Amino acid sequence: MEAQETKQVKALATKIRLGILDAIHSVGSGHIGGSLSIADVLAVLYGREMRYDPKDPKWEGRDKLVTSKGHCGPAVYATLAVKGFFPYEELKTMNKPGTRLPSHTDRNKTPGIDMTTGSLGQGTSLAAGMAYGERLKGSDCRVFCIVGDGESQEGQCWEAFEFAAAKKLSNLVVLLDWNKRQLDGYLDDCMPMGSFEDKFKAFGFDTVTVNGNDVDALAEALERTRKGGDKPYAIVMDTVKGAGIPDVEATPMNHSIPVGDEQYAKWTAELNKQLKELED
């Protein structure tokens, strides 16, 4: 990306982080760690890579995102709100009675959400089915699927990956959020997964590993996935759980933590300062 575009995408990532805080602070606590770790990839996807129309969320020609780690809804809602799919203030209704923004993403509730997820692993097969469907329709739309590293402990993910490779779904891009932590602690303590890059390659994916909190690296990796071919794509995103907010990064058990008034004030001040610098 040109320097100016990098700044714009970084600014979007910062706005997404602010949106995550607005949503989670309004409830009091939530899945902040894994939401923050994917803020940068969402900024690249919605800032430059994906085709979509906020005024027409069901537009036939759109690319689709399946957030298989559905508990990171706050990050996707923040992105959609910033991009104008629904009013920004609606972020503060998350998880409240009658909301359109449930904790886990739901295609039947939220404008811009293409698939219902939350039971980990299931989004991978859904995304593979959608990619297969796009190909049957002769469409050039692509399907992006964000999968958690802990989530990949679900066997269904690997069923879906072998299917995607067998069917040569090159319109499918799996984005694995390797943030090294899950609910009960570090991945390597709970259930070590070995090398994701080796695994994806062995399963027949065109695979790269990049710094998943570096928007330039992500943009380059995503550009590669436009070239089609006969393999699905995997981008192993080496990320930090809680990325972008030092206090959250430094909290080992940060899967779901409270965001009280004090933290909210401090963290939003930090992010707003960053945003000002990026927008100057």
Report the chain's terminal Cα–Cα distance, integer Å. Answer: 18
Q: Does 133 bind other proteins (CB under 8 A)?
A: yes
Minimum distance from residue 119 beta carbon to other proteins (Å): 5
Give CA–CA dist 112/251, Å, rounded: 32
Sequence-distant (6+) residues with CB within 8 A of 86 are: 80, 100, 110, 111, 112
Q: Does 24 bind other proteins (CB under 8 A)?
A: no
From the number of C-beta atoms within 10 Å of its C-beta (0-12, 13-18, 19+), residue 57 rates as: middle
Pattern 103-132, binding to other proteins, x per CB under 8 A? ---xxx-----xxx-xx--x-xxxxxxxxx
Segment 134 to 153, residues that bind other proteins, using CB under 8 A? 134, 136-137
Structure tokens given for 26: 């309004």
Q: Does 65 bind other proteins (CB under 8 A)?
A: no
**Residue 54: how many other CB atoms lie within 10 Å:** 16
Minimum distance from residue 116 beta carbon to other proteins (Å): 4
Q: Which of 6, 100, 153, 159 binds other proteins (CB under 8 A)?
A: 159
Give CA–CA dist 126/1, Å, rounded: 31
Q: 44 or 130, CB closer to other proteins?
A: 130
Q: Does 263 bind other proteins (CB under 8 A)?
A: no
DSSP output for 29-47: EE-HHHHHHTHHHHHHIII
Q: Does 160 bind other proteins (CB under 8 A)?
A: yes
Minimum distance from residue 98 beta carbon to other proteins (Å): 18
Q: 41 or 130, CB closer to other proteins?
A: 130
- For the chain, where are the E strands, in sequence order? 29-30, 64-67, 143-148, 172-178, 181-182, 185-186, 206-211, 233-238, 257-258
Pattern 161-200, binding to other proteins, x per CB under 8 A? -xx--xx---------------------------------
Q: Would you tell me which residues interact with other proteins (CB under 8 A)? A: 106-108, 114-116, 118-119, 122, 124-134, 136-137, 155-156, 159-160, 162-163, 166-167
